């Protein structure tokens, strides 16, 4: 099935990324309703009402030096100037500001493709630009404009619709959610008798929230979390009502009004139950939305209730010796640092602590920590769906080489503590024939966990 056997073969591949030619029905339908006049009005509305000195400075200060190029895995993978971070600004806001919003529908079509599918908003380039210009922010402004123009890739817009109709990303109905939790509770009782997933418990120490795809596709993660919580004798709870989903595709489509509703609902679910803090599953973008973007949109400088990512939580479990392991995971592992929790929250050292506590052999991939390459799936790119899948996997070439290098040193398992990264890495591993196994920390901890005496 796979096309490549080694790094050499990847390097020889002459294929160029052709995502510009991809026809996305969401983008095309949106364009049909547009005229240059409408575009100009909307653009100027966003620029004048929603942006300020920051955007101006970011676009004006850029001296076109190209230092950001090597900061971007798209550029590193495709070696095409159009994929350098500044190159993406050139194709979007640079033109828009220069022409004061007088751009064509064709321009918007390309700009939408660039902003939604050729940037993971991973902010790695901000660490390579000498000025620290935040291209992810500029791309977000472009997405905001596209959202207001109604030019959004079909698949990600569908998740945004789901968010607004159900308050979760995956069209999970209220009864299905409870049903899933009870089903996982029952499954987990095979491991620990009398195990509970306590619903709506007031005053719990931990309010555990997950992303929509967990009940939809990866329900076993809820089961594993329940086992870990029970093994650690935690006073925890999960909400039975909407507000359980901490994910946020609206943040990535540019639908900030909806993002605010989602974040408020999530915070309020926890606060209504008087929970002491929110612990989140192993997801990167959801953490970004709760810890960074969503709270700010709601005018909370920091989240109104303490938010703890699974990595912080697991690290705490080992530091406080709340759980015991039978024996260490014995296959050599490597660790993928997800952008939103390493570059977004500095959790990379804690992640290494967990690796040390749980795995016998650890092999670093390089670059790592803040400098790790993105999985190419984040920032909503994987959520733009099948039309863009091939292009996305192509842009993961740099990642594939990095994985091959870790594999050459002996790594067999990649730990990726983020759902988006899992999706992206899975495709990369498959496409390039990397042949490594992917795991969450939860998978590893569950596997080696010493269950409490019955």
Please tell me whether residue 346 binds other proteins under the rule CB under 8 A.
Answer: yes
Q: CB 65 → other proteins: shortest distance, Å? A: 7
Instruction: Report helix, strand or coil for 309.
Output: strand
CA-based max dimension of the chain:
70
Please tell me whether residue 66 binds other proteins under the rule CB under 8 A.
Answer: yes
Contact (Cβ atoms closer than 8 angstroms) between residue 289 and residue 251: yes
- Using the contact rule CB under 8 A, the part of the chain among 12-20, 58-66, 229-237, 417-425 near other proteins is 58-66
Task: Tell me which DSSP letter residue 98 carries.
Answer: H
Please tell me whether residue 343 binds other proteins under the rule CB under 8 A.
Answer: yes
- Interatomic CA distance for residues 301 and 291, integer angstroms: 9
CA dihedral 281, 296, 124, 345 (to 10 degrees): -40
What are the counts of helices (DSSP H) followed by strands (DSSP E) for the chain? 23, 7
Please tell me whether residue 75 binds other proteins under the rule CB under 8 A.
Answer: yes
Q: CB 267 → other proteins: shortest distance, Å? A: 17
Please tell me whether residue 81 binds other proteins under the rule CB under 8 A.
Answer: yes
Per the DSSP assignment, residues forming a β-bridge with 199 are 238
Q: CB 405 → other proteins: shortest distance, Å? A: 16
CA distances (Å), 191 to each of 236, 327, 328, 408, in order?
18, 17, 19, 37
Please tell me whether residue 306 binds other proteins under the rule CB under 8 A.
Answer: no
Stretch 284-303: interaction string toward other proteins, x if CB under 8 A? --------x---x----x--
Stretch 370-409: interaction string toward other proteins, x if CB under 8 A? xx--------------------------------------
Cβ closest to other proteins, residue 143 vs residue 431? 143
Please tell me whether residue 100 binds other proteins under the rule CB under 8 A.
Answer: no
Size of the site for other proteins (CB under 8 A): 47
Please tell me whether residue 410 binds other proteins under the rule CB under 8 A.
Answer: no
Q: Which helix (H) or strand (E) holds 335?
A: strand 333-335
Q: Which of 39, 42, 46, 129 binds other proteins (CB under 8 A)?
A: 129
Cβ closest to other proteins, residue 38 vs residue 70? 70
The distance of Cα 181 from the centroid of its chain, to the nearest Å, equals: 23
Q: Which two tokens stand for residue 367?
A: 């670059």
Cβ closest to other proteins, residue 135 vs residue 359? 135
Q: CB 28 → other proteins: shortest distance, Å? A: 27
Q: Which of 90, 399, 401, 422 binds other proteins (CB under 8 A)?
A: 90
SS (H, E, C) 242-307: CCCECCCCHHHHCCHHHHHHHHHHHHHHHHHCCCCEEEECCCCHHHHHHHHHHHHHCCCCCCCCCE
Please tell me whether residue 14 binds other proteins under the rule CB under 8 A.
Answer: no
Instruction: Cite the beta strand spans of 301-408 per DSSP E.
Output: 307-309, 333-335
Instruction: Report helix, strand or coil for 74.
Output: helix
- Using the contact rule CB under 8 A, the part of the chain among 80-88, 166-174, 178-186, 256-264 near other proteins is 80-88
Please tell me whether residue 8 binds other proteins under the rule CB under 8 A.
Answer: no
Q: CB 244 → other proteins: shortest distance, Å? A: 26
Q: Which of 11, 60, 205, 450 binds other proteins (CB under 8 A)?
A: 60
- Using the contact rule CB under 8 A, the part of the chain among 81-89, 309-317, 404-412, 436-444 near other proteins is 81-89
- Using the contact rule CB under 8 A, the part of the chain among 126-134, 146-154, 314-322, 428-436 near other proteins is 126-134
Please tell me whether residue 136 binds other proteins under the rule CB under 8 A.
Answer: no
Q: Which two tokens stand for residue 86?
A: 């500044």
Please tell me whether residue 3 binds other proteins under the rule CB under 8 A.
Answer: no
What Rg value do the Cα atoms of the chain yield, rounded?
A: 22
Terminal C-alpha separation, the chain: 46
Contact (Cβ atoms closer than 8 angstroms) between residue 159 and residue 381: no
Count the neighbouring beta carbons within 10 Å of the beta carbon of residue 14.
4
Contact (Cβ atoms closer than 8 angstroms) between residue 163 and residue 250: yes
Please tell me whether residue 131 binds other proteins under the rule CB under 8 A.
Answer: yes
Pairing, β 307-309 against β 277-280 = parallel
Q: Which of 126, 251, 279, 429 binds other proteins (CB under 8 A)?
A: 126
- Interatomic CA distance for residues 87 and 73, integer angstroms: 13
Task: Tell me which DSSP letter residue 64 carries.
Answer: -
Please tell me whether residue 366 binds other proteins under the rule CB under 8 A.
Answer: no
Q: CB 31 → other proteins: shortest distance, Å? A: 25
Please tell me whether residue 70 binds other proteins under the rule CB under 8 A.
Answer: yes
| Interacting residue ranges for other proteins, rule: CB under 8 A | 51-54, 56-58, 60-67, 69-71, 75, 81-82, 84, 86-87, 90, 126-134, 292, 296, 301, 342-346, 348, 367, 369-371
């Amino acid at each position: 099935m796979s096309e490549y056997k080694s790094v050499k073969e990847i390097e020889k591949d002459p294929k160029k990324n052709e995502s510009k030619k991809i026809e996305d029905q969401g983008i095309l339908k949106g364009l049909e309703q547009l005229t240059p006049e409408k575009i100009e009005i909307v653009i100027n509305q966003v620029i004048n009402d929603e942006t300020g000195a920051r955007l101006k400075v970011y676009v004006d200060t850029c001296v076109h030096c190209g230092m950001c190029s090597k900061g971007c895995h798209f550029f590193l993978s495709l070696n095409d100037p159009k994929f350098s971070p500044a190159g993406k600004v050139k194709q979007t806001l640079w033109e828009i500001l220069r022409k004061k919003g007088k751009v064509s529908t064709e321009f918007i079509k390309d700009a939408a493709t660039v902003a939604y599918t050729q940037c993971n908003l991973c902010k790695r380039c901000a660490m390579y630009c000498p000025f620290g210009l935040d291209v992810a922010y500029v791309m977000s402004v472009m997405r905001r404009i596209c959202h207001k123009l109604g030019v959004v890739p079909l698949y990600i817009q569908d998740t945004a619709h789901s968010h607004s109709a159900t308050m979760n990303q995956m069209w999970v109905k209220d009864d299905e959610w409870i049903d899933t939790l009870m089903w996982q509770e029952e499954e987990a009782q095979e491991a620990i008798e009398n195990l509970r997933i306590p619903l709506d418990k007031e005053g719990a120490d931990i309010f555990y929230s997950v992303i929509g795809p967990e009940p939809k596709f990866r329900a076993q993660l809820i089961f594993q979390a329940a086992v870990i919580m029970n093994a650690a004798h935690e006073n925890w709870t999960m909400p039975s009502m909407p507000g359980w989903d901490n994910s946020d595709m609206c943040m990535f489509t540019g639908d900030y009004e909806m993002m605010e509703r989602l974040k408020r609902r999530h915070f309020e679910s926890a606060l209504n139950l008087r929970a002491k803090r929110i612990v989140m599953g192993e997801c990167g973008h959801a953490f970004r939305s709760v810890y960074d973007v969503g709270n700010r949109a709601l005018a909370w400088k920091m989240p109104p209730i303490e938010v703890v990512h699974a990595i912080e939580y697991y690290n705490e479990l080992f530091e406080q010796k709340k759980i015991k392991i039978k024996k260490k995971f014995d296959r050599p592992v490597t660790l993928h640092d997800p952008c939103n929790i390493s570059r977004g929250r500095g959790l990379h050292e804690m992640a290494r602590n967990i690796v040390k506590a749980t795995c016998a052999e650890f092999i670093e991939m390089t670059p790592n920590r803040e400098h790790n390459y993105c999985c190419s799936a984040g920032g909503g790119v994987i959520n733009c769906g099948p039309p863009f899948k091939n292009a996305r996997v192509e842009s993961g070439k740099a990642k594939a080489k990095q994985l091959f290098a870790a594999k050459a040193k002996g790594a067999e398992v990649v730990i990726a503590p983020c759902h988006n990264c899992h999706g992206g890495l899975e495709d990369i591993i498959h496409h390039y024939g990397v042949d490594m196994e992917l795991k969450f920390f939860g998978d590893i901890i569950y596997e080696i966990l010493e269950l409490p005496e019955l």
